Structure 1
Amino acid sequence: MTHDGPAEVILTPERRTIDVVPDAERHGTPRSQFTLWFGANMQITAIVDGALAVVFGADAIWAIVGLLIGNIFGGAVMALHSAQGPRMGLPQMISSRAQFGVKGAVVPLVLVILMYLGFAATGTVLAGQAVNKILHIDSPTVGIVVFGLLTAFVAVTGYKLIHIVGRIATVVGIVGFSYLAVRLFLEYDVASYVGIKGFDIVTFLLAISLGAGWQLTFGPYVADYSRYLPRSTSESTTFWSTFLGSVIGSQWSMTFGALVAACAGDAFLGNQVGFMGDLAGPAAIAFLIYFVILVGKLTVNVLNAYGGFMSILTTVTAFNGQSRISSTARTLYILGFTAVSVLIAIAASADFLDNFKNFVLVLLMVFTPWSAINLIDYYLISKERIDIPALYDVNGRYGAWNFTALACYAAGVLAQIPFLAQKMYTGPVTDMLGGADISWIVGIVFTGLIYYPLAKRTSNPPSSMIYPDHTAMTDSRV
């Protein structure tokens, strides 16, 4: 009889997909949520996100304050989604079937899949540059493909390895970005670049939107990484571990990005990864900084690939009725998703910063109504009582389509249009506000106001959480 060692256990591909994780397979502590989300946010794209607020006109000080407000608000919403994981033991978007119906949940799911592809592709562009610097290769395609292969390997292996990569990213991120921050203050008179512009409401609201948008786009997959925690795990502990890890990590990166953009300007904007290496100083240390960038991007890109696979599978199984797939099919789904994101990265526009800003803000428009509906239903309507077997049955409690939720979702998206401030379209209310984009606030508030009273009358939650019979799980709160 042989026993697998720790390495074999970690590198054994994960078996669970969109099915419930039984109690016997639950493990870990909420501390793992802190390191995963801290590590996922200590990375180059978060730095770019923080830099955007300064690039588009804000003073660095006001940009940092606005980013903090956005990160706190968006982080709270995102962490409320995370707290659902231990209770249900399900990926996030499967639980959306309780609000939208088994097939109706496909509507926001299609947009979620596009989000994952977009973030995976934009992240792969930057990570590919770091790979090229490490390998001393000039071809952008080589770095992108190598990074895609790394992403696929970790995502196929699954949950345990993903959390280990998150822990590594936390440690190297703290060391690497702290060093770069010191170097920035040694190379530039930072104080002379900040506090030189007055407060401007338009750019301040943009900074808030960039911070909030960054956090809110984690919402559709955050519970994927808390669903293995024991059911006895405190919801408040899960919330705070996720919230603090994500907000501290992202704010750290975005603050650094705002300061870099203020001091370096075009030197950073034209070559974000190369600038970090130059700032590091000696070639040996620059090599280590490229490694830090690579590990941080690997962490978050794996989340995109893993979440993208889960979302595609949730979409497909809404129509074929399956709740499990083979390991081979699971691997093929992930490889297919990663391959598409790599191809998009290779063909990515050179106008990276402007496109990325618009990409994040468009995502806000489609995800804030989904987030409002999911959280209001789970915490205020169903009150944490879900009929899990019915999530896989079009003839069950939740049906195929929940037109009430879908109508509220559509209304929440449409209500934001007059408030948009996009490259291709600026709403009339936005013009009246001087260009300030508050569409995401409208999306959350308006959707919540119309959904809650309608769902209160039409929803039919069970009296307690119902788990599948084969798991032998019962609701301990009854």
Structure 2
Amino acid sequence: MTDTNTRATTVETRTIDVVPDAERHGRPLNQFTLWFGANTQITAVVDGALAVVFGADALWAIIGLAIGNILGGIVMALHSAQGPRLGLPQMISSRAQFGVLGAVVPLVMVILMYLGFAATGSVLAGQAISHFLHIDSVSVGIVIFAVLTAVVTLIGYRMIHLLGRIATVVGVLAFAYLTIRLFVAYDAADVLSVHGFDIATFLLAVSLGAGWQLTFGPYVADYSRYLPRDTSPKKTFWATLAGSVLGSQWSMTIGALVAAIAGDAFLGDQVGYFGELAGPAWAAMIIYLVIVIGKLTVNTLNAYGGFMGVLTTTTSFTGRSSVSARVRTVYILGFVAISMIIALAASDNFLSNFKNFVLLLLMVFTPWSAINLVDYYLISKERIDIPALYDRRGRYGAWNWYALSTYTIAVLIQIPFLAQTMYTGPITRMIGGVDISWILGLVVAAALYYPPARHHNRAPAATVYPTTSPLSEASSVPDSEHVAHDHATAGGPSSRRVPD
């Protein structure tokens, strides 16, 4: 039997094509470790700190963050459950709702999201590397981190999951140590006493938690698509939900406590503060290393999802379902290089910009999530014509105008309800600064999309898989609505309709 670590270092060959049954592997537990490891990291700590920095009481901030993480985590985990069923990256499957070319519209924002999170994460990881190596230049740390990100992303899926397991173990140990140190070094219990409740800052905390989870939605299925097709959707859902919510809530709770206790000491240098909190120099060095491992885990997800997003966009116009290893490498290196350049030029006003960035993403991704989930679970009932996802002349067409119209309306209707540094909507001012825009976007998108989608249901009678090798062009499949043969070769499934 092949050793796990040896297999983990095998370079991935799949991109946006269907993962054949012969290549499926893993267990739902892998989703828990990946998402727990990806969330026990310093950017999640900063996200939790934002709620207190912008006015929330620590205890109410922690409660609000928990509510937001659970609500957003449910939506995110529902996307994850699609992976084993379809064997596809998330944004390829969204062509079933928006059309082959129409899916590019929300995908542009997805790519910008990946770049934004990769850049902000690189700044914090660069600081940790500079502390670890005792160098004054954060820029050197950012460049080193970019190289590490590129290497792991190039190796691909197995290495990413291995890194997630490592990040889970070291994250639990390091965060347990930091939590204990926090209560030993400070009177942390005192800041948990209720000093007052403010609805606006409480809902900001909810939004920060929900926004954090919802931004995983466009790529969460990318990391569950290799699971065997008969994997229980419920097990995938619960493993993803538990890992992501527990990891992020722990990180954000530490962030809220630290912001309430340390104030400016934390705001001025988030990474350096944790080194000081760790105590002895050897402990600080370990914490810096753990910060890098945690950031590397999630930054690799961003780089992997980013290149997949760009690839999904370009292949919408070419009709291809895969690319060569050389092209894959160019896409990954290009994405990492751009995110590194953004990180090197990042503004010093990190916390405020990051808060606005997260809330802006919340505005554009909640309608997309609502449309995708309503269609997949309530309209199509998990039945997808996969070859048609690569053919603009197929079942789903090039553009789905009622989906795009719904998406546009749901984004625009949130503007009067926004509460950001650069803009506060008129209705938000009337209700005391409470930002409920994302809730409105979720509800409006689902309500507007369901009636026309139900009337124009384009789902097949059963899921359709490609009849040719997933590495071929989708245009080679003239009719995706037929019943194909059973497995023709050991190299992958000859594709067929799979009854519900």
Please report the TM-score for the alignment, with normalisation by the length of structure 1: 0.98
Show the counterpart of 2:499: 477
Q: Superposition RMSD on alpha carbons, in Å?
A: 1.0
User: C-alpha distance in 2, partners of 1:336/1:277?
Assistant: 33
Which of structure 1's runs of 4+ aligned residues deviate more than 6 A?
A: none
User: C-alpha distance in 1, partners of 2:4/2:189?
Assistant: 49
8 Å Cα contact 2:101-2:316 kept in structure 1 = yes
SS at match of 1:14: coil
Show the counterpart of 1:459: 457
User: C-alpha distance in 2, partners of 1:343/1:42?
Assistant: 25
User: C-alpha distance in 1, partners of 2:23/2:187?
Assistant: 53
Q: CA offset at residue 404 of structure 1? A: 0.8
Show the counterpart of 1:395: 393
Show the counterpart of 1:14: 12
Letter in 2 for 1:97: R
8 Å Cα contact 1:102-1:318 kept in structure 2 = yes
SS at match of 2:463: coil
User: C-alpha distance in 2, partners of 1:246/1:475?
Assistant: 33
8 Å Cα contact 2:464-2:498 kept in structure 1 = no
Q: CA offset at residue 477 of structure 1? A: 3.3
Show the counterpart of 2:489: none
Letter in 2 for 1:206: L
User: C-alpha distance in 1, partners of 2:340/2:461?
Assistant: 46
Residue 254 of structure 2 corresponds to residue 256 of structure 1: yes
1:75-111 per-position Cα deviation (integer Å, ceiling 9, x unaligned): 0000000000000000000001000000000000000
User: C-alpha distance in 2, partners of 1:389/1:85?
Assistant: 16
User: C-alpha distance in 2, partners of 1:77/1:361?
Assistant: 17
Q: CA offset at residue 7 of structure 1? A: 4.0
Mapping for residues 204-243 of structure 1, pairs under 5 Å: 204-243=202-241
Letter in 2 for 1:96: S
Show the counterpart of 1:468: 466
Letter in 2 for 1:365: M
User: C-alpha distance in 2, partners of 1:407/1:431?
Assistant: 28
1:276-317 per-position Cα deviation (integer Å, ceiling 9, x unaligned): 000000101100000110100000000000000100000000
Show the counterpart of 1:49: 47
SS at match of 1:437: coil
SS at match of 1:90: coil
1:357-401 per-position Cα deviation (integer Å, ceiling 9, x unaligned): 000000000000000000000000000000000000010000011
Q: 1:285 aligns with which of 283, 286, 305?
A: 283
Letter in 2 for 1:133: H
Q: CA offset at residue 473 of structure 1? A: 3.6
User: C-alpha distance in 2, partners of 1:40/1:104?
Assistant: 30
Show the counterpart of 1:319: 317
SS at match of 1:459: coil
Q: CA offset at residue 196 of structure 1? A: 4.6
User: C-alpha distance in 2, partners of 1:58/1:202?
Assistant: 8
1:41-70 per-position Cα deviation (integer Å, ceiling 9, x unaligned): 000000000000000111100000000000
Mapping for residues 372-383 of structure 1, pairs under 5 Å: 372-383=370-381
Distance change >3 Å, CA 197–CA 310, structure 1 → 2: same
SS at match of 1:397: coil
Show the counterpart of 2:472: none
Q: CA offset at residue 5 of structure 1? A: 5.1
Mapping for residues 156-305 of structure 1, pairs under 5 Å: 156-305=154-303
1:116-168 per-position Cα deviation (integer Å, ceiling 9, x unaligned): 00000000000001111111111111000000000000001000000000000
Q: CA offset at residue 193 of structure 1? A: 2.3
1:5-33 per-position Cα deviation (integer Å, ceiling 9, x unaligned): 54442212101000000100000000000
More displaced, 441-450 or 455-464? 455-464
Please report the TM-score for the alignment, with normalisation by the length of structure 2: 0.94
Q: How many residues align?
A: 476
Show the counterpart of 2:70: 72
8 Å Cα contact 2:32-2:240 kept in structure 1 = yes
Letter in 1 for 2:236: T
Letter in 1 for 2:44: A
8 Å Cα contact 2:418-2:437 kept in structure 1 = yes
Letter in 1 for 2:70: I
Show the counterpart of 1:420: 418
Show the counterpart of 2:474: none
Q: CA offset at residue 422 of structure 1? A: 1.2
User: C-alpha distance in 1, partners of 2:251/2:497?
Assistant: 41
User: C-alpha distance in 2, partners of 1:434/1:70?
Assistant: 20
Letter in 2 for 1:99: Q
User: C-alpha distance in 2, partners of 1:181/1:460?
Assistant: 51
Letter in 2 for 1:360: V
User: C-alpha distance in 1, partners of 2:202/2:8?
Assistant: 44
8 Å Cα contact 2:178-2:278 kept in structure 1 = yes
Q: Which runs of 5+ in 2 are unaligned?
A: 469-492
8 Å Cα contact 2:59-2:194 kept in structure 1 = no
User: C-alpha distance in 2, partners of 1:60/1:135?
Assistant: 34
Q: 2:107 aligns with which of 97, 109, 117?
A: 109
8 Å Cα contact 1:98-1:386 kept in structure 2 = yes
8 Å Cα contact 1:23-1:473 kept in structure 2 = no
Q: 1:36 aligns with which of 34, 37, 46?
A: 34
8 Å Cα contact 2:16-2:89 kept in structure 1 = yes
Q: Which runs of 5+ in 1 are unaligned?
A: none
User: C-alpha distance in 2, partners of 1:6/1:72?
Assistant: 33
User: C-alpha distance in 2, partners of 1:451/1:291?
Assistant: 46
Q: 1:345 aligns with which of 328, 343, 346?
A: 343
Q: CA offset at residue 192 of structure 1? A: 2.3
User: C-alpha distance in 1, partners of 2:366/2:354?
Assistant: 18
Q: 1:406 aligns with which of 396, 404, 407?
A: 404
More displaced, 353-362 or 464-473? 464-473
User: C-alpha distance in 2, partners of 1:24/1:450?
Assistant: 40
More displaced, 366-375 or 131-140? 131-140
Letter in 1 for 2:195: K
Q: 1:328 aligns with which of 326, 329, 344?
A: 326
Show the counterpart of 2:119: 121
Letter in 2 for 1:20: V
8 Å Cα contact 1:58-1:197 kept in structure 2 = no
User: C-alpha distance in 2, partners of 1:330/1:396?
Assistant: 26
8 Å Cα contact 1:22-1:473 kept in structure 2 = no
Show the counterpart of 2:431: 433
Letter in 1 for 2:496: T
8 Å Cα contact 1:194-1:262 kept in structure 2 = no
Letter in 2 for 1:306: Y
SS at match of 2:11: coil
